A = this chain, B = another copy of it.
Amino acid sequence: MLPEARKRKIVELVSTHDGQSVSELADELDYSKATIRRDLRALAEEGLIERSHGGALPATSVASERSYGEREVKNLEAKRAIAARAVEEIADTEVVFFDAGTTTTEVARRVPSDLLAVTNSPQLAVELGERVEEVKLTGGTLRSRTRALVGPTAESFMERTNFDLLFLGTNGLDVEAGLTTPNENEARMKELMVEKANRVVLVCDGSKVGERSFVQFAELDDVDHLITDAALPKRLAETLDAAGVRVTEEDTA
């Protein structure tokens, strides 16, 4: 592992775990404690973490967010693990739709190049354009909060098209409320995605499980395959099983 990569990893581990000991880091990264200490000292000087006896804590200032931009993404490790598993679903499909969202972005970063990608996220489109032969965008109005395209133009695009596979995100996944999201326009788009996709893969990190948001856009049995990092509550697991939903719980450890 490159020294700088190791330092980035340390910052990430310290930040996500709310502090890590020197031993834990040495163990995890497979470097000597001496090296870990050197790294911690350097990172503390840069203000990216705070040093304490025996280990390090996340920096309190905002400065850390600036230099390592991806920090804004919650549960990044979980999302990456989910994404790594999700791309395996692509085999033998041609037309794949990517819902806007951070988890689906991680999926997009791992896709093979020989497919036709469609998305309602301009950012995702640009990223996909660097990897994939053909990328299509739905068009429509840009919703500022999520950077997703919505509205009549986007919806009419959806009505004219069909997909082999959909990578779908959600804000809430609940046994009673089903799949939910805060915005009506986005909910309508997601509804159409589900309707027009042959196979629906829901990528969903643990923070969404058991949550209910404002608008429901799908039932649990609309999903063909759920990929998550969380151990699902028993009742949800049972309901999904009864609905014939395949569930993959990806270890993040």
**Residues in A lying within 8 Å of B, measured CB to CB:** 2-5, 8, 12, 16, 18-19, 21, 50-57, 60-62, 67-70, 109, 122-123, 125-126, 128-131, 134-142, 144, 147, 149, 151, 153-154, 157
B149 touches A142 (CB 8 A): no
With both beta carbons as reference points, the residue of chain B lying nearest to A62 in the complex is identified as B69
Bound-state Cα–Cα, A130 to B64, Å: 13
CB-CB under 8 A for A4 and B50, given A126-B123, A157-B153: yes
Chain B hits for A137, CB < 8 A: 122, 137, 139-140, 142, 149
Q: Which 4 A-B pairs have the closest CB atoms?
A: A139-B139, A4-B52, A122-B122, A135-B142
Task: Name the contact of A60 in the complex, choosing from B68, B125, B128 (C-beta under 8 A).
Answer: B68
* CB nearest to A125 among chain B residues: B122
Smallest distance from the beta carbon of A77 to chain B beta carbons, Å? 13
The interface centre, meaning the residue of A61, A142, A153 with most chain B CB atoms within 10 A of its CB, is A142
